[in-house]
Amino acid sequence: MNNIFRRAGAQTWSVRFHIPRDRRSDVGKAYGTKGGHKADVVKTLSTTDRKEAMGRRPKALEAIRAEIDAKLQAIGLAPLDGGWQPDWAFTWDDEEKAVSEGLAARREIAKAADREDQAEEFYTATADGSMLSATIRISPRDRKESHNASVHRQHFIAVPCTLRRL
């Protein structure tokens, strides 16, 4: 459902915010409705163009939700979402949290970057008589990666190396 519609006889598009069934009586109290419950909130998007209305819809729905939450909190009730936020969501509004997570990431990068590769360098002659330098990394981690690659491929052993012409 797009949540947008045109009222009968109107040219402009409107948006409808549906209130969850279990919170309709709370929202009705917050808005002071006669019947004591409210099922939806409708606002105009002030445009006759459907494409533009679809673009305005997310901000309009968020503004309606903020209005409802403010009215609920004004009478001492929890907001519609109950203040829940998923663990993976990160808001940049909390500057201290952003800085602490950035510093933690920097420490992790620094730990990973301290390892020096152990390497052996040797020279071989090419067919045209020039010398070719090859560096083979021999750190335990690189040997393990090479072993894992060879086990998966079974046909050749992949040794991480760097070749340079001299």
Measured from the Cβ of residue 30, the count of other Cβ atoms closer than 10 Å reads 21
Q: How far apart are CA 31 and CA 68, in angstroms?
A: 8
- At residue 64, the pLDDT reads 94
Mean pLDDT of the chain: 80
Higher-pLDDT residue of 115, 103: 103
- pLDDT digit string (tens) for 6-47? 988 899 999 999 999 999 999 999 999 999 899 999 999 999
As beta bridge partners, residue 150 has: none
Element (H, E) at 135: strand 131-137
Q: Give the pLDDT of residue 90.
A: 63
**Across residues 97-119, what is the average pLDDT?**
74
Q: What is the per-residue pLDDT across 126-145, written as a single tens digit (0 to 9) for each?
A: 888 888 777 766 666 666 66
- State mean pLDDT over 110-136: 72
Q: What's the CA gap between 49 and 54, in Å, rounded?
A: 9
Q: In this structure, what token pair is assigned to residue 130?
A: 């020039």
Beta carbons of 12 and 45 less than 8 angstroms apart: yes
pLDDT at 157: 46
Neighbours of 26 (CB within 10 A): 21
High-pLDDT (> 90) share of the chain, %:
40
pLDDT in tens, 147-166: 666 655 554 444 555 555 55
pTM of the model: 0.52
Side-chain-side CA neighbours of 122 within 13 Å: the count stands at 7
The pLDDT value recorded for residue 155 is 46
* Higher local confidence (pLDDT), 108 or 89: 108
d(CA 28, CA 67): 13
Q: How far apart are CA 142 and CA 129, in angstroms?
A: 31
For residues 6 and 29, give the distance between their C-alpha atoms in angstroms, rounded to a whole number. Answer: 28
| pLDDT given for residue 134 in this prediction | 73
CA 157 to chain centre: 38
- Taking each helix axis as running N to C, give the angle between helix 24-31 and helix 50-74, from 0 to 180 degrees, rounded to the nearest 10: 80
